[in-house]
Amino acid sequence: MQRKFLTNLGFLLLLNMLIKPFWIFGIDRTVQNMVGAEDFGFYFVVFNFSFLFNILFDFGITNFNNRNIAQNTQLLNKHFSSILILKFLLAFVYFIITFSAGLLWGFRGNELWMLGLLGLNQFLISLILYLRSNVSALLLFKTDSILSVLDRILMIGICSVLLWGRVTSQQFQIEWFVYSQTASYLLTAFIALLIVIKKASFRRLNWNFPFFLMIMKQSLPYAILVLLMTFYNRFDTVMIKRMLSGEEGNIQSGIYAHAYRLLDASNNIAYLFSVLLLPLFAKLIKEGRKIENLVRLSFSILFVASVILAIGSVFYRFELMTLMYDHYINESASVFAVLMGCFISISTTYVFGTLLTANGNLKQLNIAAAVGMVLNIGLNIVLIPGYGALGSAWASLTTQGIMALIQVILAIYFFNFHINYRYIASLVVFVAGVLVINMLIVYLELPWLRAFGLMVATSLILAALLRLLDLQNFIKIVAGKKTQI
């Protein structure tokens, strides 16, 4: 399983590193600069609002399905034919609740139109993720990897034409960005649907109301978990807009969006680990096999990457924000430095939260997530009026840190993991070492890109010396030999 994880992770990361940087720095960055902080802040607020009730599209079905099909592949045909109908029924419920909530929140006119478009996109994303959950549950990771970047490839093509193809004399509008997303998601969903239909030997849709109730009952804990996590991950900008009046709300939301963009991109890469780990963990747990090696391997990789990025982002916050944007650089840099600290905690939850999900510890995860939601909302209420986007960033950092710690403790308890003090000491030394490396390199006064590259290379060497990244064992794993990880 470690070999399967590493080889497919390498392929998945390769595809994403080829596509995602151009999307972030070429397309997304250009769109944000062209439409301005206020217009993009408006889009970002509505986008996050459309995300709040996203679980109604899915009701936890994707996570449940990934775990269930990985353990019982023979159920794919039976479940797929009915779940597809259920997804469309849930979409109807989502639009009723989301539009009702939008009206109550004060959305009108253009805000409601944008909410409708982004709601459609959320449905298509949810459909794609469900279809991909079937592909990954069958351990067809290379096919899933291609599907994971297909929508971005299509969006790059469409947006490139709109931005630089001189097909119109009008200034680029944020609505065009949303339309390009819709077209890309539609085509990706269609291709993913064809793949799953073939793998499932699909014959016809099956309306089975008792089955719908059974699936929703079994998926309910997953649905509650995703809903609670969504609120403490995505509610920040909605609260900024609500608590800061007029133009200031949009501007502060735009500043938060500037800072959040690179965190979101980093999270998307880290999320790929959970996509691979959930079916692998589920299969190992069902078979009663040892999982500690895979947990340590995946956590070590993510911890090293997240610490390097988080600490490096603090030292090079102004340079990175200057590279990305044309306005509100200082404000965005301050928020960015705080938000990137969340990446360490989020990466931790992608390993230990996924492990607990695969083990079915949903009750404990839901209690923890409820605490996180209440804590995050409370901190935002206290901090946003005085500190705006920066206050919301500190609320996120505090919440994510506490959630990561809780999930690590739960994993140790339920799996009786042996506490390896030497390993923990290596983690602490690595964090301290990366801090020292950054401080020393700053004094060299090199061009910042060269300094950043030197920092990353030196930090990776430190990780290898501490055996957090054990290259010799990695090679043995890929070669299929016995390892000491």
Count of residues making up the chain? 485
The pLDDT of residue 104: 86
The pLDDT of residue 483: 42
Q: In whole angstroms, what separates CA 114 from the centre of its chain?
A: 22
The pLDDT of residue 477: 47
Cβ proximity of 340 and 313 under 8 Å: yes
Helix axes 246-286, 2-22, angle to 10 degrees: 160
Q: CB-based contacts of 155: which residues, under 8 Å, 6+ apart?
A: 23, 27, 180, 181, 184
Taking only the tens place, the pLDDT of each residue in 305-333 is 999 999 999 999 999 888 887 778 888 89
Handedness of CA 459, 440, 263, 306 (dihedral sign): positive
The pLDDT of residue 272: 74
Helix axes 29-52, 209-243, angle to 10 degrees: 120
Q: ∠153-185-15 over CA atoms, to 5°?
A: 30
Distance between CA atoms of residues 69 and 165, nearest Å: 44
User: How many other CB atoms sit within 10 Å of the CB of residue 356?
Assistant: 22
The pLDDT of residue 146: 83
Which runs of consecutive H residues, i.e. helices, occur in 74-173? 76-105, 110-137, 141-164
The residue among 260, 261, 237 whose CA lies nearest residue 249 is: 237
The residue among 383, 260, 384 whose CA lies nearest residue 332 is: 260
pTM of the model: 0.71
The residue among 145, 119, 178 whose CA lies nearest residue 5 is: 145
User: How far does the chain reach from its first CA to its final CA, in angstroms?
Assistant: 13
Radius of gyration of the chain (CA): 22
Report residues of the chain scoring pLDDT below 50: 477-485
The residue among 127, 188, 132 whose CA lies nearest residue 157 is: 188
